[in-house]
Amino acid sequence: MAIMEDHLFAPGHTACSGCGQALAVRLVLRAAGSNVIIANATGCLEIFSSNYPYSSWEVPWIHSLFENTAAVASGIEAALRITGRLGNTKVIAQGGDGGTADIGFGSLSGMLERGHDVLYVCYDNEAYMNTGIQRSGLTPYAASTTTSPAGKQSWGKPQGKKDMVGLALAHGAPYVATASVGYPHDLDRKVKRALEITGPKYLQIHCPCPLGWRHDTSLTIEIAKLAVQSGLFPLLEFRDGELVQAHKISRPRPVEEYLRPQGRFAHLFAGEAGQEQIAAIQQIAERNIARYGLRRQERTAAKVPATAGEVTTEEKAARDRERVFTAAELAGFDGREGRPAYLAYQGLVYDVSGSSLWPDGDHQGMHQAGEDLTAAMADAGHGDEILAQFPVVGRLARDI
Amino acid sequence: MAKEILEGSRAVARAVAMCRPQVIAAYPITPQTHIVQELAQLVADGELAAEYVNVESEHSAASVILGASAAGVRVYTSTTSQGMLLMNEVLYNLAGLRLPAVMTCVNRAVSAPLNIWNDHQDSISVRDSGWMQFYAENNQEAVDLLLQAYRLAEDHRVLLPAMVCMDGYILSHAWEVVDIPTPAAVDTFLPPYPPLYRLDTENPLTFGAYAEPDKYTETRYMMQEAMNRALEVLPEIQADFARIFGRRYQGPVEGYRLEDAETVFIGMGSTMGTVKEAVDALRQQGEKVGAVRLIAYRPFPAQALYAALQRVRQAIIFDRAVSLGSGGPLATEVRALFQSAPDCPAISSGFLGLGGRDVTEETVINAYAQTRGRTVQGIFFDLRHDVEMEGVEG
């Protein structure tokens, strides 16, 4: 994937295979670029990336302590500001879920309240993994960890995830978002957007941890996607307190599909009694879906804005025959660097150039023009009716 | 330079401003507040071009100056007592990262029981953190040592943070005559901070990598060596200081009327001003007494102390902090200095002035009387037997 070309986070580190956090870090750095200074909390990431004399960091990077990362970043920001280096150089603070939501919450709150121009990234793998899988404020309901173990009288963690998004919003942060390693384009876009905004930003990235979640290392991305598609980890974006985007779910996946491959939830599947717990988790997903309006309206999309000069059926049919695109030809219309943005859907090629939904051929950070997106529609937050607003410029050649 | 009568806190704030720190972070705590609110006002009035970061805790105050120092600017903070204890973790970290920083510790007792008055328990509790520690006898020194602390901390042969300790209330809230230096003179003595390394996108470096057992010892060795070098660099800085400001400091230890002294009082901070008065009084009665004051406690001035005490017959050490379950931190170290040494003086030690209890000339003379012809260890020189101590003295 082209998104992985840059190596500001050098390989050779000692992360576990299938580590969601390592993947997320590469994506964050790739999006942030090299004009960034990073303050990093104690945790897995710091350990696996900075074993002296080795370092994976190709950007200036500092690790101080577990709970003070937001304050260290505040100090860096203040120093850059007074010396006129801020703006050109961005500051990112980053830590795990424990370093963010628990022990580091005070310093994060201070950073957000004072309004430092810093992007705080929380890599949320839902427990203290570095110390051996202890529960944190962001461990989800019923997850079994070494300090919230399932047992004869326990279903795992009795509390749900701390609402860090709500807490960040309560500070008046101008940009608050969630992302997932399962949606790299979306993550990439959110990091870039956050760094364009002055002031404190909070981005929480869901990162499966095969060791702590006890799933196969090959399933990291799939499980990350299932968290989103079930509604358990909504992908949200808030600007100045307003929800400006929520990743829609066409057909929410039952939470069971997300829970079943993970050993931390295995106790829920050991007997009939677990069904009640699974139902409770389903309720959490339903609440998220309702709260953030995640469910796509099925086929009622009459709200598609009418475009000026709608084409007649005859005209459309005529255009359909204009040109036949091979996949390789289509790839040339990716919308980048001023090129037109075309996409294929069910055999037809649509021109989405100039659409505000496809800037530079990029759609919501998830899709790039120049591709056949027929299969992707199933995952989209809308139906194919939305394509009616775009002119058809040809047909996609069938594979011979 | 101009002599002014002003509060100790204000004198320190004025001196801090002349050092031109670019990032100041602080959290209010009695009796440190007058320093930091004065600095906030100087920034608010545009008289000091600094980012003043109002943090949510002392832990973050130390963390903010840590980040700023790593980014390559001169930094300042001030705290005391509980604030120092809350900073503790970050203080070790700042030193281990070899980041220069300067703070004023306005010394105060540690809770419980809550007590906002002066002793040295707070700074003594962080003596092993890798911060250099200097103790001021009066407000002039609180100013002068601050300037010297910046020079020493930022010297590339040292690169360790430094705290200047001044006794809470006794100095911080006392109005004294202080010779306030001119900004030009301070600029000459203390040029802009040239960081050896900094967080910089032009030259990306990793700060704070972790060290396994095959590396960690060497980091401690290097810090210990830097502490030793600080003792060598200090006289250079003091010579510069004398040349520019006209006030002469001679090494990390100050002797008072030592010429034929048989008994010497040893201590730190403002108490030693009172001790000097007591020395004068005792001398008038024909007693051959003197005083030795540690200006630097970290690095511990072992050689200078040893040289000052070699010929005396008796040493009486005043600690204003207690290592509970052991003894006086200063006494323990001075005693260790003479372990197996020839001509070891008879060493007595004890505590006084805890939690703001007044140390008067009489307190010192009484301590002298209590140690005539005998040695005592770790006694409470100014214990009051009229205070009910039910359940303690059985």
pLDDT digits (tens, 9 = 90+) for A90-147: 999 999 999 999 999 999 999 999 999 999 999 999 999 999 999 999 999 999 999 9
Instruction: Tell me which DSSP letter residue A67 carries.
Output: S
Contacts of A63 in chain B (CB under 8 A): 207-210
Contacts of A72 in chain B (CB under 8 A): 63-64, 66-67, 70
pLDDT digits (tens, 9 = 90+) for B279-332: 999 999 999 999 999 999 999 999 999 999 988 999 999 999 999 999 999 999
Contacts of B59 in chain A (CB under 8 A): 67-68, 71, 106-107
Integer Cα distance of B331 and B348 in angstroms: 8
Interface of A with B in 45-104 (CB under 8 A): 46-47, 50-55, 57-65, 67-68, 71-83, 89
Question: Does residue A260 form part of some domain?
Answer: yes
pLDDT over threshold 80, residue B393: no
pLDDT the model gives residue B310: 87
Query: Considering only CB atoms, which residues of chain B are within 8 Å of chain A?
Result: 22-23, 25, 49-51, 53-57, 59-60, 62-73, 75, 89-90, 93, 97, 199-201, 203-212, 215
Q: Are B93 and A64 inside 8 Å of each other by CB?
A: yes
Q: How many Å lie between the alpha carbon of B229 and the closest alpha carbon of chain A?
A: 25
Q: Out of A53, A62, A74, name the one closest to residue B208 (CB).
A: A62
Are A288 and A336 part of one and the same domain? no
pLDDT the model gives residue A358: 86
Q: Average pLDDT of chain B?
A: 96
Strand partners, B93: none
CA B61 to chain centre: 19
Are A320 and A261 part of one and the same domain? no
pLDDT over threshold 50, residue A329: yes
Are A376 and A245 part of one and the same domain? no
Interchain CB contact of A114 with B (< 8 Å): yes
Integer Cα distance of B335 and B63 in angstroms: 36
Mean per-residue pLDDT for A162-179? 98
Which CATH number is B138's domain given? 3.40.50.970
Interchain CB contact of A311 with B (< 8 Å): no
The answer to whether the beta carbons of residues B351 and B319 sit under 8 Å apart is yes
Are B34 and B90 part of one and the same domain? yes
Which CATH number is B264's domain given? 3.40.50.920
Q: Which residues contact A37 (CB under 8 A, 6 or more apart)?
A: A59, A60, A61, A62, A76, A80, A89, A90, A91, A92, B71, B199, B201
Q: Which residue has the tokens 């795990």?
A: A96
Integer Cα distance of A210 and A191 in angstroms: 24
Q: Out of B22, B59, B67, name the one closest to residue A76 (CB).
A: B67
Interchain CB contact of A10 with B (< 8 Å): no
Residue of chain A minimizing CA distance to B199:
A60
Question: Does residue A300 form part of some domain?
Answer: no
- Which site among A65, A72, A103 would you substitute to test the B interface, given the most B Cβ atoms closer than 10 Å to its Cβ? A72
Are B292 and B241 part of one and the same domain? no
Q: Which residues contact A302 (CB under 8 A, 6 or more apart)?
A: none
Torsion-angle region of B150 (φ positive above 0: left; ψ -120 to 50: alpha; else: beta): alpha
Are A285 and A151 part of one and the same domain? yes
Are B320 and B372 part of one and the same domain? yes
Q: Are A78 and B59 inside 8 Å of each other by CB?
A: no
Q: Are strands A242-246 and A236-239 parallel, antiparallel or unpaired?
A: antiparallel
Give me B222's structure tokens.
């290097």
pLDDT digits (tens, 9 = 90+) for B225-269: 999 999 999 999 999 999 999 999 999 999 999 999 999 999 999
Are B224 and B332 part of one and the same domain? no
Residue of chain B minimizing CA distance to A80:
B71
* Domains held by chain A: number: 2
- Please report which helix (H) or strand (E) contains residue A24, including its range: helix A20-32
Instruction: Tell me which DSSP letter residue A341 carries.
Output: B
Closest CA to B210 of A29, A39, A62: A62
Question: What ipTM does this complex have?
Answer: 0.96
Q: A303: pLDDT confidence band, cut at 50, 70 and 90?
A: very low
Q: Out of A35, A58, A109, name the one closest to residue B56 (CB).
A: A109
Strand partners, A95: A122
Q: What CA–CA distances, in Å, run from A144 to A129, A210, A257?
A: 13, 14, 17
pLDDT the model gives residue A312: 57
Contacts of A71 in chain B (CB under 8 A): 55, 59-60, 63-64, 67
Question: Does residue B258 form part of some domain?
Answer: yes
Domain containing residue A159: 2-292
pLDDT the model gives residue B195: 96
Integer Cα distance of A117 and A197 in angstroms: 8
Interchain CB contact of A229 with B (< 8 Å): no
Are B259 and B212 part of one and the same domain? no
Contacts of B71 in chain A (CB under 8 A): 37, 75-76, 79-80, 83
Domain containing residue B376: 253-380
* Domains held by chain B: number: 2
Are B218 and B261 part of one and the same domain? no
**Preceding omega of A60 cis (within 30 degrees of 0):** no
The answer to whether the beta carbons of residues A229 and A25 sit under 8 Å apart is no
Question: Does residue B186 form part of some domain?
Answer: yes
Q: Are strands A90-96 and A119-124 parallel, antiparallel or unpaired?
A: parallel
Contacts of B63 in chain A (CB under 8 A): 64-65, 68, 71-72, 74-75, 107
Are B236 and B276 part of one and the same domain? no
Contacts of B64 in chain A (CB under 8 A): 71-72, 74-75, 78
Residue type, B102: V
Integer Cα distance of A339 and B210 in angstroms: 47
pLDDT the model gives residue B392: 59
Which CATH number is A369's domain given? 3.10.120.10
3-class DSSP state of A156? coil
Q: Are B206 and A55 inside 8 Å of each other by CB?
A: yes
Q: What CA–CA distances, in Å, run from B180 to A8, B10, B53?
A: 50, 11, 26
Are A323 and A229 part of one and the same domain? no
Q: Which residues contact A183 (CB under 8 A, 6 or more apart)?
A: A224, A225, A228, A235, A247, A365, A366
Residue of chain A minimizing CA distance to B65:
A75
Q: Which residue has the tokens 């677990």?
A: A274
Which CATH number is A64's domain given? 3.40.50.970
State the SS3 of chain B: CEEEEEEHHHHHHHHHHHCCCCEEEECCCCCCHHHHHHHHHHHHCCCCCCEEEECCCHHHHHHHHHHHHHCCCCEEEEECHHHHHHHHHHHHHHHHCCCCCEEEEEECCCCCCCCCCCCCHHHHCCCCCCCEEEECCCHHHHHHHHHHHHHHHHCCCCCCCEEEEEECCCCCCCEEEEEECCHHHHHHHCCCCCCCCCCCCCCCCEECCECCHHHHHHHHHHHHHHHHHHHHHHHHHHHHHHHHHCCCCCCCEEEECCCCCCEEEEECCCHHHHHHHHHHHHHHCCCCEEEEEECEEECCCHHHHHHHHCCCCEEEEEECCCCCCCCCHHHHHHHHHCCCCCCCCEEEEEECCHHHCCCCHHHHHHHHHHCCCCCCCCEECCCCCCCCCCCCCC
3-class DSSP state of A245? strand
Are A255 and A352 part of one and the same domain? no
pLDDT over threshold 80, residue A2: no
Contacts of A65 in chain B (CB under 8 A): 63, 89-90, 93
Among residues A292, A326, A344, which one ends one of the domains?
Answer: A292
Q: Out of B72, B210, B215, name the one closest to residue A50 (CB).
A: B210
Residue of chain A minimizing CA distance to B20:
A82
Q: Which of A213-227, A355-369, B131-145 has the lowest mean pLDDT?
A: A355-369
Are A348 and A287 part of one and the same domain? no
Integer Cα distance of B373 and B364 in angstroms: 16
Contacts of B215 in chain A (CB under 8 A): 52-53
Q: Out of A63, A89, A109, name the one closest to residue B208 (CB).
A: A63
pLDDT digits (tens, 9 = 90+) for A219-255: 999 999 999 999 999 999 999 999 999 999 989 999 9
